[in-house]
Amino acid sequence: MPGSQEFVFEGGSSGVLLIHGLTGTPLEMRLLGKGLANAGFTVHGVQLAGHCGSAADLVATRWQDWYEGVERAAERLTTRVDTVFVGGLSMGAVLALALAAERPRLVAGVGVYGATFRYDGWNIPALARLSFLLPLLKRLGIGRDRMFMEQPPYGLRDERIRAQVSATMLSGDSAAAGLPGNPWPALAEMYRLAAWVRPRLSRVVAPCLIAHAREDDIASLDNARLVAARVAGPTEMLVLEDSYHMITIDRERRLLIERSSRFFSAVAQARALAEAA
């Protein structure tokens, strides 16, 4: 896998699989992973197929390739832990929900971080808001070499972190900070994934921690409300007031780590008590 940034933190008998977003990198999940590891969890940050390389590497993959990689990583994690949780950022949250829907006996709980079923945040330009049409354009062979370039604030409210991430991303180091834009064919695959997962949300019976920034610049809070309304399992909502889209590394990352650790620990404890009864 080009420029692999996958990480594993060894911990206890409960494990968390972390999934990055479209055009992103496992590094955007690393701080959350370290925090969960410090709380006693075994953590695996997976790298999605086609990511951390060139735009051509990404365009050569489909959403099924991304999901299959997540499923394989989850199965590997089961060989090291007794209880598996999954958490994802942006499109990674959609993939996490897909895994919970398809493998309900495997997934004990879900961290739904900045779920993106639709790009409708306040910083999305009018043309990009029509990106739900991209699957049709892809079928027609239109726009294979086109890309929606990332724009400030790049999902980050923290100006210091924004400067670091944008400099790395614009330098061309996709393994460290992801691609500087979203290729149209990859966005088309993301919308196909979202269309496939949306009607399957009712199959998600695992408890879900749904965390989303109120002022998300990429995906509005309506994405989180969609998940809360449609999943079958219990939900806990965390609305972040001082972050933008990249909540795993933005200003309230420590709060996200604390709430995620508490949520996963509570679910694991409840499962252990139920099994002992």
Mean of pLDDT over the chain = 91
pLDDT of the residue at 167:
84
Q: Residues 80-91: pLDDT tens digits?
A: 999 999 999 999
Taking only the tens place, the pLDDT of each residue in 195-232 is 999 999 999 999 999 999 999 999 999 999 999 999 99
Average confidence (pLDDT) over 101-109: 97
pLDDT at 66 (0 to 100): 98
Q: What is the pLDDT of residue 273?
A: 87
**Sheet containing strand 235-240, strands side by side:** 7-9, 42-46, 14-19, 83-89, 107-113, 208-213, 235-240
Residue 56 pLDDT exceeds 80: yes
175 falls in which pLDDT band (50, 70, 90)? low
Beta bridge partners of 46: 19
Q: What is the mean pLDDT of residues 187-193?
A: 92
Residue of 94, 90, 68, 79 lying closest to 44 (CA atoms): 79
**CATH code that applies to domain 7-276:** 3.40.50.1820
| Position 73 confidence tier, pLDDT thresholds 50, 70, 90 | very high
The pLDDT of residue 40 is above 60:
yes
- β-bridge partners, 154: none
Report, as an integer, the average pLDDT of 29-58.
96
- Of the two residues 212 and 181, the one the predictor is more confident about is 212
Q: Determine the longest span between alpha carbons in the chain, in angstroms.
A: 59
Q: Kindly list the domain boundaries of the chain, sorted by start residue.
A: 7-276
Pick the more confident residue, 2 or 79: 79
Rg (CA), the chain: 17
Identify the pLDDT of residue 145.
66
pLDDT-derived band at 177 (thresholds 50, 70, 90) equals low
The whole-number pLDDT of residue 243 equals 98
* Start-end of H helices in the chain: 30-38, 55-59, 63-78, 91-102, 134-139, 159-170, 174-177, 184-197, 222-230, 253-276
CA 120 to each of CA 95, 130, 176: distance values in angstroms, whole numbers, following the listed order = 19, 10, 26
DSSP characters over 188-220: HHHHHHHHHHGGGGGG--S-EEEEEETT-SSS-
What is the pLDDT, as a whole number, of residue 185?
A: 87
Would you say residue 47 has pLDDT above 90? yes
Nearest to 100 by CA among 234, 240, 243, 248: 234
**Mean pLDDT along residues 164-180:** 75
For residue 142, pLDDT beyond 60: no
The DSSP bridge partners found for residue 111 are 87, 209
Mean pLDDT, range 53-77, rounded to an integer: 95
The mean per-residue pLDDT over the stretch 74-83 comes to: 96
Report DSSP state, residue 22.
T
pLDDT in tens, 117-135: 999 999 987 666 556 666 6
